[in-house]
Structure 1
């Protein structure tokens, strides 16, 4: 399922910026990627190992020093990096911290159509109520998600929909459903 892919990729904070930077043409060496992303060395190393485990990156054989390896995107990684670059280019600098949070992108990917809290939770099997609630609140405070209450329902229930930057990210992830379901 494509949402599981977003959950896996975004479980490490710097994975999306690394993929986006590689797609933008930044060389696949540690120093240049560290500068481009602004990540700490430890977080960067964890994110790189994670991307290698997911099969999105690989060491570039024959290039780089053993202590300073060079990385390149795999074929699946190239397609994923293009999506990451589109998503990263939508948000502004101050919103990048929200985009690096683990559940932001998966929650937005599940909001292609407005939904209730439980509908979102069902589409994200491993999320806790608390994590979903905090994610929705943080996106609502940045105007990425709009919360409206359906007063006709008994009891009244809030409906969440992606707006502004969140809506644009939803539009980017929507056509990728078929790509992710391979």
Structure 2
């Protein structure tokens, strides 16, 4: 999977929990997935529509009632669901509030090695400076990212590294993603 696909997947809050739940065997119907993820109906519906548009899930033909359809993972969806499940296993329940934010996972994935702000931005071409800065600050507050200053560089530059839970998530997701 490429980094742009990961950015697209994480642009909706509940896509990763839905993919992880489907990978672990939760039935591909609305009620079981709602119970497994804890999402609200509207946000869940928007996330499902987004996953269908990305080609990660599809309606299971011949199964389910028209008002209560059943869904299944596509081949590309199985790859994404496997990654979501790995991330779910290395993180705690309280970590999912931060992981549901749009840029958290793509930024952590690009931090598989220590990087400068500009290097992270080059790996994620569609991210704005403000969004990157806010993501790094929120992850630094949770102790997922460590910021140090490279005093040898002129002017001094900040170096960001994924640590603790952020480091685990980064090491799980980075091998699965191709950068430009």
Range into which the TM-score falls when normalised by the shorter chain:
over 0.9
* Partner Cα distance (1:143, 1:2) in 2: 27
**Normalization by structure 2: what TM-score?**
0.96
Give the Cα–Cα distance (whole angstroms) in 1 for the partners of residues 2 and 84 of structure 2.
14
The residue aligned with 1:68 is: 68
Pair 1:85-2:85 in alignment: yes
Structure 1 residues not aligned, in runs of 5+: none
Matches of 1:80 and 1:131, distance apart in 2:
24
TM-score in terms of structure 1 length = 0.95
Q: In the alignment, is residue 23 of structure 1 matched against residue 55 of structure 2?
A: no
Secondary structure of 1:160's aligned partner: strand
Q: 1:47 corresponds to which residue? A: 47
How many residue pairs match? The answer is 180
> Mapping of 1:112-151 within 5 angstroms?
112-151=112-151
1:97-148 deviation digits (Å, cap 9, x = unpaired): 0000000000011112111111111111111111101100010111111000
Provide the secondary structure at the position in 1 that maps to 2:115: coil
Shift of 1:78: 1.1
Kindly report the root-mean-square deviation, in angstroms, between the aligned alpha carbons of the 2 structures. 1.4
Return the alpha-carbon distance in structure 1 between the equivalents of residues 175 and 103 of structure 2.
Answer: 20
Residue 177 of structure 1, CA deviation: 3.0
- 1:90-109 matched pairs, under 5 angstroms: 90-109=90-109
Mark the runs of 5 or more structure 2 residues left unpaired by the alignment.
none
- Whether contact under 8 Å (2:13, 2:47) holds in the other structure is yes
What is the rounded CA distance, in whole Å, between the counterparts of 2:112 and 2:2 in structure 1? 13
Distance 2:141 2:41 in 1: 30
Which residue is 2:57 aligned to? Answer: 57
Provide runs of 4+ in structure 1 moved above 3 Å.
none
